[in-house]
A and B are shown apart, each in its own frame.
Chain A
Amino acid sequence: MKRYTQRSSVVVEFSDLPFWKKADRRDLFYLGFGLLVLTMVLVSYALGSLEWLPYDPQEIDLDMLMAPPGTEGHLLGTDFMGRDILSRLVLGTQAYFLPGLLSITIALTLGSLVGVLSGYWGAGFDTAATYLGNLLDSFPRLVFILLVVAAFKPDIYYIMVVVGITNVPVVSLLIRDKILSLKQKTFIEAAKALGLRNRTIIFRHILWHNCRSTLIIQATLGMAEAILIESSLSYLGFGVQEPTPSWGNMVQAGSNYFMQGQFWSSTAPALAILVTIMGFHLLGDGLNYILEGKRS
């Protein structure tokens, strides 16, 4: 009896609640949808790597051209060469997943580095970082990528390095603002007074304890962007080339048939792009509220 009253008299602060109790239904829906999409991408990537696909994605079947979805054996139908669309969609995740991870890694590590430098060490770095950020923002991303394509004819990994670098300013600005707000709470001053080393303060107390959620959210948004860029590029013919499937070149390949009223072979990859990008956006925004307490 005594235990019970004691427990109920404890004031639980909002920020101390576990995250699933802070979330409302909408956030949980966002998060759930996002996690579902993330799982599907991961599973597809694994299946594609292991080549556990219902059909060979490059096998041409002239008896089964443009089969509608739900056809016996072909769950999502076939394209204009009779190739199984489901298998091609699953294998299409290969086109962006690892390159996307590369771009995220670069954006997060360089972004944290620049953010810490400009927030923690102060004004000189800050001016330089702002200048470089504005400089990168001056280029329309796709135009800049086309310039790089023209100069180097790079493969998708090099392009994603460029994409990662262009995302550095976004991440570094967030980290910098976080550090400045921590400084106002005299949090860092206290840590220094306790005699902690700069390395400990930066890595453990700033990046790990305070910027972890920001970085996770930026990672989800970075993957959404990688998918957008990869699909746009392979749509334009600069990314993955036929017959290797990527969602962008699948939309492109189905375009003539689309205009004749056979929508499916373009629409299936387009819907895959739509759902996946939306999933990563929702994941990011759901996490943003649940971890950061920010309503988007």
Chain B
Amino acid sequence: MRFSSVRTAAFVLGRELAITALLLAGVSLVVFAILFLAPGDPFSLLLEGQMGDDAVREALGVPTAWYAQYLSWVSNILRGNFGTSVHTGLPVLSEIIRVGINTLYLTLGALLITLVIAIPIALLSARMGNTSLTLPLTIAAYVISALPVFWLGYIAIYISTHRFGAFPIVVGSSGTQGLNMTAFLLPIVVLGVGNGTISEVVRYLREEMGRVFAEEYIRTAKAKGGSVWRHSVREGFIVPITQIIATKIPFVLGGAVVVEQVFNWPGMGRMAWQAAQTRDYPLIMGITIIAAVIVRMGSLLQRVVHFMVNPAAAGD
């Protein structure tokens, strides 16, 4: 019994790791293909723009065939060498890590805000059904989901500068230590409210919670006088909430691009914007790959949590 459950866990973990690895391999292929097809041969650009000629490439030991280029590129990435930024000349990976921590604060905080808003609404309407209160809440959720996040940012900046005298634009990119609290919290709140996913999160959580509340074991628990919360928390809360977090990570990361631009937040999104402006291939490539790795890690973590909560359901 004990042995078999350990074996199942190892099997599930192994399978999820294998899937993640396969997907990341696919990610690297897609990114490589885009850059390979890009005009102006970005890979020559990395070599000071002198390498258009195949003979010169060969003489310098630079691979010419696409698969050889891909393999050498991937093996560099696996060793942590993402190349150097064309624009600043600094190594890409350390640049991304330097600003990535700011994006981590921003996105994790924003996800938290989204959940803090969405969970009570979802819970309320899952427990009470369609009451007179749910209609205004639903409409509010629609309005919030359609709000352009940059305009929401302007309103937030205007109000905080003119009412509270705090200027929430991060100046310079020396990290987060010099910031005041408004400058730190405002972008997080704006992204949390305005990432366009709140109504979807509410809807998903409400459906899942409603489904669990209608299960027979909840009815039995009620009949026995047991705690509904205790019986519903795993399937009705932990699983759907981790699921929706994992699904929404890419959306919040995408939203971070805009919000970081509005607030001049020194993060990965702003760096991606600059890289696209200056066509800094190694940088935007690195950012895309790191973002995809973050998304896949979130999804992997969700599968593990799901397995721990309900091994039977996650096993297959």
Q: Give the B-binding residues of A (Cβ under 8 A).
A: 26, 131, 134-135, 137-144, 146-153, 224, 228, 231-232, 235-238, 248, 251-252, 255, 258-259, 261, 263, 266-267, 270, 273-275, 277-278, 281-282, 296
Q: Which of A147, A152, A252 contacts B285 (CB 8 A)?
A: A147
* Total B residues in contact with A, Cβ cutoff 8 Å: 57
B169 vs chain A, min Cβ distance (A): 10
Question: In the bound complex, do residue A151 and residue B281 qualify as a contact, i.e. CB atoms below 8 Å apart?
Answer: yes
Instruction: Write the chain B residue with the least CB distance to A153.
Output: B279
Contact of B157 with A by CB under 8 A: yes
Q: Which of A139, A255, A278 contacts B288 (CB 8 A)?
A: A139
- The contact string, 1 if C-beta is below 8 Å from chain A, for chain B 273-316, is 10111011100110110011001100000000000000000000
Contact of B217 with A by CB under 8 A: no
Sampled A-B contacts (29; CB under 8 Å): A137-B250, A138-B26, A138-B27, A139-B292, A140-B251, A142-B255, A146-B272, A146-B273, A149-B276, A150-B276, A150-B281, A151-B37, A151-B279, A151-B281, A153-B279, A228-B196, A232-B258, A236-B257, A236-B261, A248-B148, A251-B151, A263-B158, A274-B151, A277-B146, A278-B142, A281-B145, A281-B146, A281-B199, A296-B203
Overall SS of chain A's interface: helix
Q: Which of A138, A261, A274, A282 contacts B250 (CB 8 A)?
A: A138
A237 contacts which chain B residues (CB < 8 A)? 277
- Which of B28-36, B56-64, B234-242 lies at the interface with chain A? B28-36
A146 contacts which chain B residues (CB < 8 A)? 257, 272-273, 275-276, 284
Question: In the bound complex, do residue A147 and residue B148 qualify as a contact, i.e. CB atoms below 8 Å apart?
Answer: no
Question: In the bound complex, do residue A140 and residue B253 qualify as a contact, i.e. CB atoms below 8 Å apart?
Answer: yes
Question: In the bound complex, do residue A267 and residue B151 qualify as a contact, i.e. CB atoms below 8 Å apart?
Answer: yes
A37 vs chain B, min Cβ distance (A): 11
Known: A151-B35, A274-B148. A236 touches B273 (CB 8 A): yes
- The contact string, 1 if C-beta is below 8 Å from chain A, for chain B 18-32, is 010011101100110
Q: Which of A142, A248, A258 contacts B254 (CB 8 A)?
A: A142
Cα(A278)–Cα(B148), bound, Å: 11
